[in-house]
Amino acid sequence: MVRKKHKDLRSDQDGAVLVEGVLVLPVLVLFTMGLLEFGSLMWQRQQLQVGVRDAARYWSRCREILSCDIGTAREIAFYGYPGGASQTRVPGWDDASELSISPDLLSLPTLPDIDTTIVLEGSVNYQGTPFFSAVFSDSIQIRYWATMRYYGW
């Protein structure tokens, strides 16, 4: 009788799929969450790049005599347009210290020459999901810089 039960257990496959599912499901969930988090990180990095490049494009065409100001360049970087007070491109990227602009308006030459370049550098701490914060205690800083030749208007 006992031998017959053991023989039946060896040949019975009814619970195998359930056991495999229980073993594989947590791994798949963690892999999927990691993939989505990585996609979110890359999207925020791309938005930071676009903002810094747009502000650099604006700043490379400014002249001291025109109505260009550093606040407009920051609004273009943070919000996507001048005078922007809506949602930022990247969550948490709205502090003036997170976008450095060099040279400042007073240091720009009155007549553009071929050697003058402007450099903008943006940085923001990645704000991930609560899952990401639970797994990784250190924050990730996303940085990007753009250099363009100074044209003036």
pLDDT tens for residues 37-92? 899 999 999 999 999 999 999 988 887 666 788 888 999 999 988 887 788 899 88
Q: Which domain holds residue 46?
A: 2-149
Q: H/E element holding 149?
A: strand 141-149
Is 35 in contact with 129 (CB distance < 8 Å)?
no
Query: Which tens digit of pLDDT belongs to each residue from 99-135?
Result: 999 887 777 777 777 788 899 999 999 888 887 777 7
DSSP alpha helix (H) spans, 60-94: 70-79
Mean pLDDT of 15-27: 87
What gap in Å lies between CA 93 and CA 122, rounded to an integer?
9
Q: What is the pTM of this model?
A: 0.79
In sequence order, what are the residues at sequence separation of 6 or more whose Cβ sits closer than 8 angstroms to the Cβ of residue 81? 75
The total number of structural domains that make up the chain: 1
HSE-CB of 45 using CA atoms within 13 angstroms: 11
For the record, the structure tokens of 152 come out as: 């003036």
The residue among 72, 73, 55, 70 whose CA lies nearest residue 145 is 55
